[in-house]
Amino acid sequence: MNGVLVIDKPAGLTSHDVVNRVRRILGQKAVGHMGTLDPMATGVLPLVVGNLTRLAQFYTASEKRYEGVIRFGFATDTYDAEGTPSGPAQTVEVSLEQVRDLAGRFRGVIEQTPPPFSAKKIQGVPAYKLARKKRAVALQPVQVEIKEFEILGVEGECASFRARVGSGTYMRSVAHDMGQILGCGAHLHSLCRTAVGEFSLAEAHGLDELAAAAESGNTEGLFVHPRKLLPEFPSVAATEETAARIRAGRSVNLPDLSKAKLVKVFYGQSELIAIATRIAGTLFHPKIVLAGEASLQLAGPQKGG
C-alpha cells in the first residue's frame, strides 16, 4: 500500500496520534505525516504511506493556509486556548479597523519567536518537554513569511482571520504578539489548516471514513492520485526498458523538459516509480526510487541531487 492520504485531523489528537490510528486502520507500519499540526487544531494533515514516505523530504518547505479565531483579553502559556491563562481576563473591545491595521504589521518576512510549547529544539530537546517541566525556554527569533493575513471580522473580544504562510510560521505566536502590542494579551482560540502545498480540505477524509473504507476493502479511492503530487515537478513517462533501469537505480536518458532539475517518472498513468535529478543534458539519475527492486533512497552520482 503506497500513496498519499489527506486526513481531516480532529481536535484533541496530536499528529502522531493520527499516524498511529492510520497505521492500525490500514495495517501498515510505514506511515508518516508531512507537517505537524497542534493538538488543538483541525484540518489538513497529509500522510505518506508505504514507499511514498520518501516523498516527505520534498514537502518540508510547503506553504500552508489557515482559518481561525484570535481571542483578546488574556494570554496563555501555550499561546492557545488549551494553555493556562497568564493572568485574569480583561474586558476588551477591539474594532475591526484596529485589528486590521495591527494585522498589517505581521505581513511579509518578519522575525518571530516560536511558542515555548513547540517542537523547536533547545540543545536537542524539544521546547515543549522543557516547558512542561517548568524549565526556562529561551527560543531565538527566526525569519518567517506571512504572505496573506486577513482579518475577516470582529465580534466582542474575538477576531476571525484567514492566513497564507511559509513553512515554520506559528499562528499561535502571531496571536500572542498581537496581544502584547495591544497590551491586553491574546491567544489563538481556534485554528483550522485548510491547505498544505497542493493538498486542501476539500480532499481530506475523516478517520471514521477511512476506517469504514478499510472495513469494506475500498481505501484506494481515498488516496490522492499520484499525478497530482508535487505539481511543481514536470512528469515524464518511462518506457518498459527505461523503467527497468530506473527501478534498478541506474541513470537514464529522458525527454528534455525545459531544463527541469527534478522530474517525476511514471510507468503507465498512475505508477510513480521515481523522482529523478538531471545530471547533464537529458541524462537523469533517480534521486529516490519508489517502486521496483531498488525502492530506496539513492545517493546519486553528484552532490545534492
Q: Is 38 a catalytic residue?
A: yes
Q: Which of 8, 38, 80, 177 is catalytic?
A: 38
Classify domain 3-62+198-224 by CATH architecture.
2-Layer Sandwich (3.30)
Which run of H or E residues covers position 6? Answer: strand 3-9
Read off the pTM. Answer: 0.87
Mean pLDDT value across the chain: 89
CATH 2.30.130.10 is the classification of domain 227-289: yes
Give the whole-angstrom CA distance, residue 115 versus residue 149.
19
Predicted local distance difference test score (pLDDT) of residue 134: 60
Average pLDDT over residues 134-157: 87
Residue carrying C-alpha cell 511543481: 232
User: pLDDT by residue (tens digit) across 75-122?
Assistant: 998 999 998 898 899 889 899 999 999 999 999 999 998 887 666 665
Look at residues 234, 262, 229, 194 and name the one whose alpha carbon lies nearest to residue 53. 229
Task: pLDDT band for 231, please (50, 70, 90 cuts).
Answer: very high
Predicted local distance difference test score (pLDDT) of residue 200: 96
CATH superfamily assigned to domain 64-196: Pseudouridine synthase (3.30.2350.10)
Predicted local distance difference test score (pLDDT) of residue 141: 86
Instruction: Determine what percent of the chain is predicted with pLDDT higher than 90.
Output: 73
Q: Phi-psi region for residue 139, left (φ > 0), alpha (ψ -120 to 50) or beta?
A: beta
Average pLDDT over residues 66-77: 96
Average pLDDT over residues 160-176: 96
Average pLDDT over residues 133-160: 86
Average pLDDT over residues 63-80: 96
Predicted local distance difference test score (pLDDT) of residue 129: 61
pLDDT(159) > 50: yes
User: pLDDT by residue (tens digit) across 206-229?
Assistant: 999 999 999 999 999 999 999 999
Task: pLDDT band for 300, please (50, 70, 90 cuts).
Answer: very low
User: pLDDT by residue (tens digit) across 80-93?
Assistant: 999 889 889 988 98
Distance, first Cα to last Cα, the chain: 27
pLDDT(301) > 50: no
pLDDT(304) > 50: no
pLDDT(126) > 50: yes
Instruction: Determine what percent of the chain is predicted with pLDDT higher than 70.
Output: 87
- In single-letter form, the type of residue at position 131 comes to A
User: pLDDT by residue (tens digit) across 32-47?
Assistant: 999 889 899 999 999 9
- Enumerate the CATH 3.30.2350.10 domain ranges in the chain, comma separated: 3-62+198-224, 64-196
HEC profile of 233-298:
CCEEECCHHHHHHHHCCCCEECCCCCCCCEEEEEECCCEEEEEEEEEECCEEEEEEECCCCCCCEC
According to the per-residue pLDDT averaged within each range, which of 47-51, 140-144, 291-295 is highest?
47-51
pLDDT(305) > 60: no
Predicted local distance difference test score (pLDDT) of residue 123: 54
- In single-letter form, the type of residue at position 154 comes to V
